Every structure is written in C-alpha cells, then in structure tokens.
Amino acid sequence: MATKKRFWAIVVAALSASVILAGSSLTVTGSVTPANAWSAMDFKAGNIVDDGLFYNGAGMTTAEVQSFLNKRVPECWLGRPGYEVGKPVTWNGPTKLASKCTRDYTVTTASRPANAYCKAYTGAPNEKAAAIIAKVGAACGISPRVLLVMLEKEQSLITDPWPNENQYFMAMGYACPDSGPGGTAACDPKQGGFFQQVYRAAWQLQVYRAFSDSYNYKPLKKNFIQWHPKQSCGGSNVYIENWATAALYIYTPYQPNQAALRAGSGTGDACSSYGNRNFFILWNTWFGSTVIDDQMSPGIRQVYDQALASGFNYGNPLGARVTVTKNGGGFQMEFENGIITESKLLGKSFGILRGWMMDAYLAAGGASGSWGFLASGISGVAANGNYRASFQHGTTVYDPKNVVMRYMPTLVFNAWKARGEQKGPLGFPSKDATLHSSTAASQLFQGGTLMVSRNGTAVLDAAELKTWTALGGYPVVGLANADRTPFAGKSYRRTEKGGMVQTSASAQVFVPAGIFERFVSSESTVQTWGWPVSAITVSGGAAMKFQKGNAVYSSSTGVAAFMQTATFDKWVASGGPKGATGFPVKDTVVVDGQGTYQVFARQTVYYGPYGKPLAFSPSAYLSAYEKSGGPTGPWGWPAGPGFAVGSGKAVPFQKGNAVYSSSTGVAAFMQTATFDKWVASGGPKGATGFPVKDTVVVDGQGTYQVFARQTVYYGPYGKPLAFSPSAYLSAYEKSGGPTGPWGWPAGPGFAVGSGKAVPFQKGNAVYSSSTGVAAFMQTATFDKWVASGGPKGATGFPVKDTVVVDGQGTYQVFARQTVYYGPYGKPLAFSPSAYLSAYEKSGGPTGPWGWPAGPGFAVGSGKAVPFQNGNAVLAPPSPVVFVPKSSAAKAEVEPSPEPTEGLPPEPTEVSPPEPSAAEGLAAEQD
C-alpha cells in the first residue's frame, strides 16, 4: 500500500518523539498572519490558555464552525486523480482515503444523556462535523476552538485536503497511547470514530478539571514537567496557573524547550517536543491571544484604563472577549465588577457596573440582544427619577418610589419624553416594553398604555386597552397611533391596520384599513352605509358588514367599494374575488325601481329587469354603453346574452341592440326598429356594412344610422334613403343633417343638366363634377334657377348653399354669377366684377347698401347700379363708390334706359328635367 505524504512540511522527528499517552504532537501546518502580534517565544508554560477561553462552550455556533472549516480547506482533493476515494494509504498503519474532507464530513450521532461532566446531547442522522464540534462544545463546556485546535494538532483534520479513514477514527487521539509497534498509536477500537473521539475528549477534559488532584499535573501548584519523553533530556518546575493548562499537560505531558520555541513552527533539537507548543501556535494563528486580558479591544481597553485612572477597577476578565455580529457588530467583555462593550456602528465604548442593571442587560442578551450596545454610562440621581443608562436601541429608567428599573426602546423613550417623562401624565413605566416590530412598541405606564409606531403615538386607558385586546390586539388591529376623533355623534381612533370605531356608548368595532379610510372620509358615509357591524372573511382582501350593506377592500385595487347586501350576496355566491369579476372597484349603483349594477376589477355586472345578472368584461361594448349613460341612457338595461350577427356580434338591450365588429372596432347602438330594418336589408352583408355610430333620434320625425359604407335616413319620406360617402353626404352632415336647413332627404336623386340633384324637405342639393361642390338650394330658388336655364343658363351650377336673409329674400352663389332674390321682385344677377367684390365686402344685403334695386345705368363716362340705400358708382380708374340716397350727388345720377355691364338681362324660365337616381343616393330600401 502507498504511504500517504503530506503536501506541506511534516517534521518526522516531532511525530515520533512527542507521542506519549494522549497522542501525537505534530508541527503547525500552514502560515496565517495572526490577528495579534505574537511569536512562539511568547509561550508561557504555566498558562498556555486562560480558563475563560478554554471552558467557553458557547464560543462558536455551528455556522461559525462551518465557516471556519470552509476557509481552512477551500477545495477538497478527494476524488481527484491520485486521490481517489477508497485508495489504500498508510497512516498509523494501513487505511484508505476517506470520502469527504472535514468541512463536508457527516456521521450519524447517538444521543447521550446528561452526566456529571456534560449536558445531554441530542443525536441526529448524517450530522455534519461542524455541528458535532459546536454541540459537543456546548454540552461539555469546552470551547469549540479547543476542539478545532486539537483535531488539527492530533490528526491535521482541519487543514488536510485528502484525509483518510484512520484520521477520523483517531480524530482527537483519545484512548490512543503510542504503545503500538514502532511507537504507533494503539487506539481502543471501542473509542474510535469521529463523534466518539470528539465527545469523549471533551468529556475527559472536564474530568481532568473535576479531579485535578488525581493526576500528575495539578493547577495552582508547582509541577515538574519534562522537555521530552527521554528522561535524560530533563525538564523544569512550572507553576500551573489554571485548570485549562493542567488539562493540556495531562493530555500531552511535555513542555517545549527553548530550541522548539526558537524554531517557531519548525524543528528544534533532539530534546524538543511540540504538542503544547503547537496548541499555542494554532490558537494564536486562528483565534488570537490565549490570554483573555490581551484580548481587550482598543475601545474596551480605553474604558477599562480610564476607570482605573478614576479609581474604579473593573477587575479580572471572566471570559474571552466576545465578538458580536448583531446590531452593527463589535465586542463585549465581562469582568468581575462590570461589563464593557465596543460598538463598531456607534464608534464608541461604554461600561456599566455589576448590579441589577447589568443583570437585566445580560438577561436581554447583552450587546447581541434587543437592547444593543451600551450607548452611555449610568447618569443621573436615583432619588430624582433620572437615574438611567442609554443603550443602542433604548434607555433604562429607575423608578425610586417602586424601586424598579425598566427598559424603554428608543421609540417609546422619545414618545415618553415628548409627553413630559415621569412628571407628565404617563408617569414611570410599570412593565417592560413589548417590541412588536422594529418600528412598533407598546408599554404600560402608571398613566396608561403608550403605543408608538411610525405613524404616530397614542395612550389608551385600561378600558380601551381591554377593548383593543378583545378586538385582536396587535396582530389584528395594530397599535393605536392617534387620539380619538369625534365623528357623526360618536368617535373613532386610528390604528396601524385600520381604526377602532365607536358604535354605541360601550361598544367599538375594528374596521380594517382601506375600508376605514373610506368610511371616516365624510360623515355622510354613515347615511349611506350605516355603522360597522362585524368583519367578513374575504379571500385576498377585507370586508366589513355595515348596517346597510357591505364594504369590500383589496390592496390589489386600492379601492374600498360599498355593495348593497343583495348584490354582495350574489357576488359571493358567484365566487367572490376568485370568480370572474374580481373585487369591486366602485359602489353599487342603484337605478330606482329598476335594478342595480356594480363595477368590478374584471367585469361590470348588471342586475336589472332581465332577471339574471349580466356581466360585461372591459370591451368596446362596455365602453360605449358607459359613455351612453348606462341603464339610464338611450340603450336601457342589458336584455340578454350576446349573439352572432354575420362576422360580428350583437348584444340586446331594452331599447335596441349594440353591434360590434372587429373590422370597425366600434360597438354601435341601434334602436330596435332600425336594427330590424338593417337585418332585413342584409345586415352586415348588405350595402351598409356594420354600424359605426349609435342611432340618432330626431324627435317626432325619424332616425338615422351611420354605417361603415353608408348612412341611412329613416324619415318622413317613408322609406329608408341611403347615402354612400360623397360630396352630398359630407355637405349634408356639415349643414346639420335632418335638423339643419336642408331637412330630411325627400326622394331619389335626378339629373340636372350635366349634374345631379337630390331632393330634401326644404330644397335640393345640386352637384356637378365641374365644381366638385354639392350646394343646397331652397325650393323657390331652385325653381327660379331651373326656370332661368339651370346649369345651362348664365349662372352655371351653384357653389354655395342658399343664403336666407330673414323676412327679405335669399341669394345664391353660382359658378358664374351671384343671384339675389330680394325686394326688387325679380332676380338680379351679378357676374364677378368690381361691383360684386365691393358689394360682398360691404356685407351684401345685410350691409349698408341693402338689396340690389334694379339694373345698372350709365352715369356720364361711368356706370351706376341702384341698391336699396343708394347707388354703387364706378368711374374708372377710380374704384367703386357707394353713394347713399341722402347724398347731394343723388340729383346728378340719372338712370340710363340700357342695362350696363355687370347686370344680365331678365332671366328666362326653363322647365326641370325628369328625376332619376342621383349619385350618392342608393335605391329605396324596404
């Protein structure tokens, strides 16, 4: 079998020369710069390690031991080529490579009952080495650091990346005297195995302490201790100062000589032994000084020395310096006469004397507990009630009358100070505080219970505290955070999780947050909701029964909505918040005498005349329905489930149907009669396509509907008249449609010359492709135009609608002329000219010129046109000048019998052609 070789240097001479009784004493392996300045020459034979360090069973937690092991062997070699698990090797005889390094090693441990030296140990299957080390240390009162050092000193198990089975079997060298062949360890098989070795070694160290006089090396006495097993090497008398050092000598009964100490972790001379030297080196390398006094941190040392200078002595340390990881980290050290802490977070160190305050502090966990690090020394005068000490998270206060000290968390202490401290209405605290969370605490004082949270403070008397407790206390109600507020003849008090609402002289009801804020937002809420009655369980939210219904809140919606009882019951029956609707987001809307509807997160449900709830998910239907006014609008209540209409869908309502198509993206409402006619004419497959706007009702006259491809008018004509998008439809809509000056469409279109005309109630709309305009002409104007030749006459096609001047006449702008039908009795037409331009700028018939009053006439070398209020005179190159009748120049204006340029001769009458279908007007529809 191969012989196992160490990767690092092993001093073979040390291995063979230092093994007597307890086991071998290997040299230190690896080199780590220690935290404290030291060398092997600092070894003190009479005090290898202080008792306070050696017997500190709680010195490391399982997690801390595991972290320590992980750092010593960052990577295990077992399983690599050349280090295969189970490979035969030699280590104190033939053995095999183990399956795991110590950091990962597991073994099933047996439970051990308590005995005179160790507390009970609870075993477990597949327990990790770190847990065994920490638990054995705690049970037997031996520091896990001692066990770690001895595991390394005896078998290199802490730093070995490829341990073997023999190393685990004789892990602590317990019951392994070097009496085998060639000085090998002759271990008792009954005491072998990792758990047995660790437990029995720790147990044995306590036995040494209990029966110190029964062994060769006795504490507090001089003892002759050899340098080496060979008596010829000699030794020296050593005064052993403590039980820990005596135990180490009993376990490994030799002291290092000067050669061994000068060698550091190396090899001395032929009379050197290394076991206890290596214990010293390993401890200092891994954990710092082996002397408690030397472990004072700078801050602790400063407080200690300042106390000495002022005449007070904290005394000897009672244990090792404790490294605190909680509350920002730092150190704590207990002495005979007090305790000192150093906080990294606060950057300060303070101490307090041994007594009732220190006892209470340690009972609360010391610097690792809820009080945190000391933040001051003791100050004040006990008789004055200001004898107190500050801590990281609170303050202790002494009550001289009742001779009791109480701790207040900082948030309670600050609130107490703000209310006058002990001289205020609260007085002294009567009980310790209850810290409900990092931002919420309550404490009983002589004057009531003070509750403090991030949202405020409140004081409850005994009766209200009893009510608060009965309502569920902190888990349900949270802490009260405000004084009572009058409300609608009663009152309420805010809490972290809602509010306590007074409902009678002796009763209060807790209303959860969300619902509470909505309820107390206005006293008028009481009129519609009534007073709260009791809580209702609703999955994922909160619900409250009120006298007139139920309020429901969910943090997902952030809304507290009120539901009438009947609506709430139907909602719960249909699955409540887990159903299709989700939580309500608006109050129940009541439509008197008809029904109700409720808006939920995922649907709006209508409980109307149909008899069954009808639910709408957010959609074009729901959006359009809500915009129209809902049940009180022109659609009325939903009247049944939806049905297919071609490629679209229709939803019936009381007064018609809402029709939707994905092609239009619009849900348009159609009155029942309109819908029926549309369906009868082919519906979406007909000429119209789907509706894109709601039915428009013109009271007492008819309706019209805008579709995707046509607009259909159902008016006095008796039959539907449909317009496709065109100049006619555009102009008609701009004029106001049926309620505008055109009135309703009155029949199919007909030809007018090269153009077309469409009859309306109050005239005709005329269109020509030459003008691109559909212009409206009043019936009388249209008739006169036709009689004068229509589009073939002097005027051409109309380009603007008939303009009506109330009580006087009308005029029409045509392509070639503007014709005025006024008081003169006959149409008077202007071609585009200086006269027409000036007349239009003056305001036309409603301007100062008035209506044209006859044909033009010559005036000298110029021309004049008569108007109601004067004459328009043009004498080139001067512009047109209007001469009022009152002007002195009136007498000089003599009419000429001949018409002048700008005024045509009298129009001639023409007969209109026969009507025919006009562009923009579809065939009549049934």
Q: Does residue 127 belong to any structural domain of this protein?
A: yes
- Measured CA to CA, the distance from residue 598 to residue 606 in angstroms comes to 7
Q: Which long-range contacts (CB under 8 A, 24 or more apart) does 256-262 make?
A: 256/40, 256/43, 256/227, 257/227, 257/228, 257/233, 260/40, 261/40, 261/41, 261/43, 262/40, 262/41
Q: How far is CA 400 from the centre of its chain?
A: 49
Q: Which two tokens stand for residue 368?
A: 């690792």
Half-sphere exposure of 532 (CA within 13 A, CB side): 27
pLDDT given at position 383: 72
Helix, coil or strand: residue 174: coil
Q: In what order do the strands lie in the sheet with 374-379?
A: 374-379, 388-391, 394-399, 404-409
pLDDT given at position 467: 96
φ, ψ of residue 835 to 5 degrees: the values are: -60, -50
Phi-psi region of 55 (alpha: psi -120 to 50; beta: other; left: phi over 0): alpha
pLDDT given at position 890: 44
Angle at 284 between CA 282 and CA 288, to 5 degrees: 140
Taking alpha carbons only, the member of 514, 513, 551, 508 closest to residue 529 is 551
Identify the helix (H) or strand (E) that includes residue 727.
helix 727-735
**Nearby residues of 755 by Cβ (< 8 Å), 6 or more positions away:** 766, 767, 768, 769, 770, 791, 797
**Nearby residues of 699 by Cβ (< 8 Å), 6 or more positions away:** none
Question: Chunked in runs of 10, what are the mean pLDDT values of the chain (926 residues)?
Answer: 32 27 28 58 94 90 96 96 95 93 97 97 97 97 97 96 96 83 75 96 96 93 96 96 95 95 94 95 93 85 92 86 93 93 96 90 95 90 81 91 89 95 93 93 97 96 96 96 96 97 94 96 96 94 96 95 94 94 96 92 93 91 94 95 94 96 94 94 95 93 95 91 92 94 94 95 95 94 93 96 92 95 90 92 95 93 94 91 74 42 33 32 32
Q: Does residue 113 belong to any structural domain of this protein?
A: yes
Let me know if 228 is exposed, middle or buried by CB neighbors in 10 A (0-12, 13-18, 19+): buried
- Measured CA to CA, the distance from residue 583 to residue 302 in angstroms comes to 64
pLDDT given at position 340: 96
- Measured CA to CA, the distance from residue 141 to residue 120 in angstroms comes to 12
Taking alpha carbons only, the member of 834, 790, 792 closest to residue 812 is 790
Q: Does residue 249 belong to any structural domain of this protein?
A: yes
Helix, coil or strand: residue 394: strand
Within 178-304, strands assigned E span 221-226, 235-240
- Measured CA to CA, the distance from residue 866 to residue 828 in angstroms comes to 11
φ, ψ of residue 236 to 5 degrees: the values are: -155, 160
- Dihedral (Cα; 629, 630, 631, 632), 10-degree rounding: -10
**681-to-82, 708, 709, 746, 868 alpha-carbon distances in Å:** 93, 15, 14, 20, 56
Domain enclosing residue 127, as ranges: 40-289
Under 8 Å between Cβ of 847 and 860: no
**229-to-15, 69, 271, 886 alpha-carbon distances in Å:** 13, 33, 8, 154
Amino acid letter, residue 358: M
Under 8 Å between Cβ of 671 and 712: no
pLDDT given at position 24: 30
Q: Does residue 844 belong to any structural domain of this protein?
A: no
- Measured CA to CA, the distance from residue 471 to residue 896 in angstroms comes to 109
- Dmax (CA) for the chain in angstroms is 168
pLDDT given at position 437: 92
Report CA Rg, the chain. 54
Axis crossing angle, helix 144-155 with helix 194-210, rounded to the nearest 10? 120
φ, ψ of residue 508 to 5 degrees: the values are: -135, 150
Within 769-831, strands assigned E span 773-778, 803-805, 809-813, 818-821, 828-830
> What is the residue-wise DSSP string for 445-510?
ETTEEEEEETTEEEEE-HHHHHHHHHTTHHHHH--B-S--EEETTEEEEEETTEEEEE-SSS-EEE
- Measured CA to CA, the distance from residue 262 to residue 524 in angstroms comes to 92
Taking alpha carbons only, the member of 616, 578, 619 closest to residue 597 is 616
Taking alpha carbons only, the member of 110, 108, 133 closest to residue 121 is 110
Let me know if 699 is exposed, middle or buried by CB neighbors in 10 A (0-12, 13-18, 19+): exposed
Q: Please measure the distance between the N-terminal and C-terminal CA atoms of the chain and give it in whole angstroms.
A: 111
Phi-psi region of 66 (alpha: psi -120 to 50; beta: other; left: phi over 0): alpha
Let me know if 478 is exposed, middle or buried by CB neighbors in 10 A (0-12, 13-18, 19+): buried
**Nearby residues of 475 by Cβ (< 8 Å), 6 or more positions away:** none
Domain boundary among 246, 268, 289: 289
Let me know if 803 is exposed, middle or buried by CB neighbors in 10 A (0-12, 13-18, 19+): middle
> What is the residue-wise DSSP string for 286-352?
HH--SSGGGG--HHHHHHHHHHHHTT----SBSSPPEEE-STT-EEEEEETTEEEEEETTTTEEEEE
Taking alpha carbons only, the member of 511, 515, 497 closest to residue 454 is 497
Axis crossing angle, helix 275-287 with helix 144-155, rounded to the nearest 10? 130
Q: Does residue 542 belong to any structural domain of this protein?
A: yes
**Nearby residues of 828 by Cβ (< 8 Å), 6 or more positions away:** 819, 820, 822, 852, 854, 855, 903
Domain boundary among 270, 289, 308: 289
- Measured CA to CA, the distance from residue 830 to residue 832 in angstroms comes to 6
Q: Does residue 698 belong to any structural domain of this protein?
A: no
- When divided into structural domains, the chain yields a total of 2
Angle at 25 between CA 22 and CA 31, to 5 degrees: 145
- Measured CA to CA, the distance from residue 99 to residue 811 in angstroms comes to 112
Q: Which two tokens stand for residue 475?
A: 């888990």
Q: Does residue 200 belong to any structural domain of this protein?
A: yes
- Measured CA to CA, the distance from residue 816 to residue 48 in angstroms comes to 127
Q: Does residue 593 belong to any structural domain of this protein?
A: yes
Domain boundary among 260, 289, 318: 289
**Nearby residues of 611 by Cβ (< 8 Å), 6 or more positions away:** none
